[in-house]
A and B are shown apart, each in its own frame.
Chain A
Amino acid sequence: MAHLLGGIGTSHAPSIAHAYDKKLQADPLWAPLFDGFRPAKDWLARVKPDLMVVIYNDHMNRFFFDAYPTFALGVGERHELADEGWGKRQFPALAGDSAFGWHLARSLIADEFDPTICQEITIDHGILSVLPLLWDAPWPAPIVPLAVNVIQHPIPTARRLWKLGHALRHAIDTYEKDARVVVVGTGGMSHQLHGERFGFMNPEWDNRFLDLLEHDPSVLARTGHDEYMRQGGAESVEMIMWLAMRGALTPAVRRIHRHYYAPLITGYGLVVFEDA
């Protein structure tokens, strides 16, 4: 049977990709970010998952508003990388896991989650900005991506993401193959990318979110989009995707790592949890 090894919650941001590609790992502005990921990378190297499920959002790269899925599941054997408007990054495409992907589709739908099932899903910075900080290419294991609409309202509630985590756990626990699985939820912590409030950050709220995520996540599941946006800026509503990761774990968790750094226009957060 499959086995859930633990979960990672992380920010994603184009700036992480830009800093990586410009080789700014040792730059004083960026070193705290890259150094902060090392314990998570070490943990992954230690637990050696052979499958990663990532809950994230696409940023108008795979999906457009002609038909915009609330949930979209990538079940293909290979996921190409997106050109987000300034060229593709120099990384190999991601491997997928079709057998698990279709199992997850069947299991989620039986649990009353109904994702759009994608045999082709192009991957953008929602996954790829942080992946090279967690794994070295060539990628050591396949990824099953689960994209969430957090852009065009109405968007699913925080509670829906929390429950999605429960359904995800059920799917992993009932998978017949002997797979070692890590669940990752990505989403930018406090940030706002548009309007006069561009550049808004709230490290105090971000850290309260990290506290609650660990110890009392049901509070976050009950929190409305308006409160996420007020506390963290409009685009930080992406944080609800961390709840799908947390919902897949046991009510109490053991924290392996936590890091936070907010130098420019968003809080870069990172947690690693295992079942307690």
Chain B
Amino acid sequence: MADGCDNLPGTTVFTGERSRQGYRLNRFAMSLADPDRRKQFLVDEAAYMATFELSEREQDMVRRRDWRAMIDHGGNIYLMLKIAGTVGQTLLQMGAQMRGETLEQFMATRPGLAGRH
């Protein structure tokens, strides 16, 4: 538990328990901070993930770019962002997916873009 933080709606607090559950997934994502590793991953995603002993379920989340599932599984958002960066997605695209929206729908809710869209 994180000081009662776990009761917040729409929020998955990164507790020790989640860090333990998501450890393999997070370790794989951390490796993508290295540009050579990013290239290796893009050449053959499945083979690369296998070297990190990701389960079939974990590999499937990555294959589907299902950020929400990864977060629920104990993925840390800053590490999932490294996966996204490697496959050419932005934080805003990740966020829209996690909210169940298209990027255009999400951007239309942003105050700084009023009048631009």
User: Residues on A close to B: CB < 8 A?
Assistant: 14-15, 29, 59-61, 64-66, 82-87, 151-155, 192-199, 224-226, 229-230, 234-235, 262-265
Contact = CB atoms under 8 A, between A and B. Distances in A.
B30 interface: yes
Given A84-B85, A193-B77, A199 B99 contact: yes
Interface in B38-88: 38, 67-68, 71, 76-79, 81-82, 85-86
Interface of B is mostly: helix
Contacts of A264: 110, 112-113
Given A85-B82, A153-B14, A197 B2 contact: no
Nearest to A29: B112
Interface of B: 2-5, 7-16, 19, 23, 26-27, 29-30, 32-35, 38, 67-68, 71, 76-79, 81-82, 85-86, 91-92, 94-96, 98-100, 106, 109-113, 116
A194 B33 contact: no
A151 B26 contact: no
A264 B2 CA distance: 28
Nearest to A199: B95
Contacts of B76: 60, 65, 151-152
Contact of A153 (B9, B15, B68, B78): B15
A224 B4 CA distance: 9
Given A60-B76, A195-B10, A84 B112 contact: no
A195 B2 contact: no
Q: Considering the complex of A and B, which 9 residue pairs feature the smallest CB-CB distances, nearest first?
A: A263-B112, A197-B10, A85-B82, A196-B10, A198-B95, A85-B85, A153-B2, A59-B78, A86-B85
A97 B44 CA distance: 43
A230 B2 CA distance: 13
Contact of B79 (A60, A87, A198): A60
Contacts of A154: 2, 16
B14 A151 contact: yes
